[in-house]
Amino acid sequence: MKTVHTDVAIIGAGSAGLPAYRAAKAAGASAILIEGGPHGTTCARVGCMPSKLLIAAAEAAHAALHTAPFGVHIDGTIRIDGREVMQRVKSERDRFVGFVLDSVESIPAEDRLTGYARFIDDGLLQVGDHTRVRARSIVIATGSSPVIPPMYQALGDRAIVNDDVFEWSDLPRKVAVVGAGVIGLELGQALAHLGVDVTVLGARGRVGPLTDPAIKAYAHETFRQSFRYEAHATVEAAVRQGDEVQLRFRNDAGELAEDTFDYVLVTAGRKPNFDRLALHNTGIALDSKGVPVYDPLTLQADAHPVFIAGDANGVLPLLHEAADEGRAAGTNAARFPNVVPLVRRAPIAVLFSDPGIAMVGARHADLAPDTFVTGEVSFEDQGRSRVMLKNRGLMHVYVDRASRQFLGAEWIGPDAAHIAHLLAWALQMKLSVNVMLEMPFYHPVVEEGLRTALRNAVAALRVA
């Protein structure tokens, strides 16, 4: 057992850990990057990139099956080859993972350790059974893992998480998706558009991240055109029968229903990866779930020189947020005790569905009544959207009554990911609705729908 000394030890070499290492080094500190699992980041291996590869295949299939309204008729049968679909998903996924591995390999060997880390005491880590690391500061960037409720654990390999989808060699016949969050809706719709018989069982009426009642209702009806969607379902039993699973559940009408599936894709949330860290050996205060109590601004745990970044802290499990947090945590760890708060970018969230869902800034649920007005646009008759036959969607923008400043938006509609960036930039620049309307809008583009919503907000301000 050897012991090494460093200024900063980073546990986890993912989307937060890698930026933390680089930031610590840039601040002039010595640093060691520790990884027990496979390198490659959650995003590249089982998250952003493989899911978007599956979605891209689904979009191609969906477009090919819906050309007739344009007067374009494809002779013969359109065939979706599940094996070819999954082969491309996996090969391109591996290519993206390779880029991350190249980045890790560029780190000097003496700055990398392989093995799971656990705390011996506040400043001492044991890595595997071969090395102890004495560090002045520590960054915990261990990521998160899918939660599988006990009901589904008994199903063996018939209960899967999103990680497992990207290891399929072929597409299954029939899948139940438990959970109607971002992962459940994205993968559920993608599989449905690729010819899989999909049932999505949500809870409490959830539709992705949406909180605006009107937008949620519109999105719910839209998704029901792609797959069976029970947004208020309650699963009462899950029983394995050979290579199938029988689910018994209450549907949206409260009626008892039963169905049989090849797989149950469980998208019931994620939990931080703290189990291996032996945090009880430290003086860090833990909450009732065993999660360190920390400052969400500085990312510091209590007064300890320990910083928690990325999915491990559960604040905003998004790649760009993880990278920002990693850089902040690495810098603060290197400069401890001179820590500074993280300056977050404008909140932005995107669900890559068809049509897309996006949220920017303040959520509808977080806004105080009578302090804001809502500007609305339907994309059903929006010019460019109708030209492309992508005219499905509803947008709400929120504007402060007193300052006329843009506060946020929730919507479902075409080109949602692109419009979300325009609005996030406007929010971060603290623009008023009047200044936003002074910006150029080309014709004909989908963004003209955004202009309509902003104009309607101005009209609402006049009435107010």
Q: Are residues 133 and 188 in the same domain?
A: no
Q: How confident is the model at residue 302 (pLDDT cuts 50, 70, 90)?
A: confident
Torsion of CA 92, 96, 97, 100, to 10 degrees: 170
Kindly tell me if the per-residue pLDDT of 440 is higher than 90: yes
Q: Are residues 159 and 142 in the same domain?
A: no
**pLDDT digit string, tens, across residues 320-368:** 999 999 999 999 999 999 999 999 999 999 999 999 999 999 999 999 9
Which of 268, 302, 318 is the endpoint of a domain? 268
Q: Cβ(17)–Cβ(312) under 8 Å?
A: no
- Whether 157 is covered by a domain: the verdict is yes
Which of 268, 289, 305 is the endpoint of a domain? 268
**pLDDT digit string, tens, across residues 370-428:** 999 999 999 999 999 999 999 999 999 999 999 999 999 999 999 999 999 999 999 99
Indicate which CATH number applies to the domain containing 227.
3.50.50.60
Indicate which CATH number applies to the domain containing 399.
3.30.390.30
Q: Are residues 307 and 366 in the same domain?
A: no
Q: Are residues 131 and 96 in the same domain?
A: yes
**pLDDT digit string, tens, across residues 48-58:** 899 999 999 99
Kindly tell me if the per-residue pLDDT of 1 is higher than 90: no
Q: How much is the pLDDT for 347? A: 95
Place of tokens 């050309």: 67
Q: Which domain holds residue 187?
A: 150-268
Kindly tell me if the per-residue pLDDT of 464 is higher than 80: no
Q: How much is the pLDDT for 179? A: 97
Q: How many domains does the chain have?
A: 3
Q: Are residues 128 and 233 in the same domain?
A: no
| Rounded-to-integer distance, Cα 413 and Cα 354, Å | 8
Q: How much is the pLDDT for 77? A: 85
Kindly tell me if the per-residue pLDDT of 130 is higher than 80: yes
Q: Are residues 114 and 181 in the same domain?
A: no
- Whether 206 is covered by a domain: the verdict is yes
Q: Are residues 11 and 117 in the same domain?
A: yes
- Whether 343 is covered by a domain: the verdict is no
Kindly tell me if the per-residue pLDDT of 186 is higher than 80: yes
- Whether 331 is covered by a domain: the verdict is yes
- Whether 112 is covered by a domain: the verdict is yes
Q: Are residues 28 and 56 in the same domain?
A: yes
Q: Are residues 225 and 291 in the same domain?
A: no
Which of 223, 246, 268 is the endpoint of a domain? 268
| Rounded-to-integer distance, Cα 235 and Cα 208, Å | 19
- Whether 56 is covered by a domain: the verdict is yes
- Whether 191 is covered by a domain: the verdict is yes
Kindly tell me if the per-residue pLDDT of 169 is higher than 90: yes
Q: How much is the pLDDT for 290? A: 82
Mean pLDDT of the chain: 95
Q: Are residues 128 and 64 in the same domain?
A: yes
What long-range pairs does 288-295 form, CB within 8 A, spacing at least 24? 292/140
Q: Are residues 105 and 156 in the same domain?
A: no
- Whether 358 is covered by a domain: the verdict is yes
pTM metric for this prediction: 0.94
Q: Are residues 323 and 352 in the same domain?
A: no
Q: How confident is the model at residue 28 (pLDDT cuts 50, 70, 90)?
A: very high
**pLDDT digit string, tens, across residues 218-275:** 999 999 999 999 999 999 999 999 999 999 999 999 999 999 999 999 999 899 999 9
Structure tokens that stand for 232 in this block: 């208020």
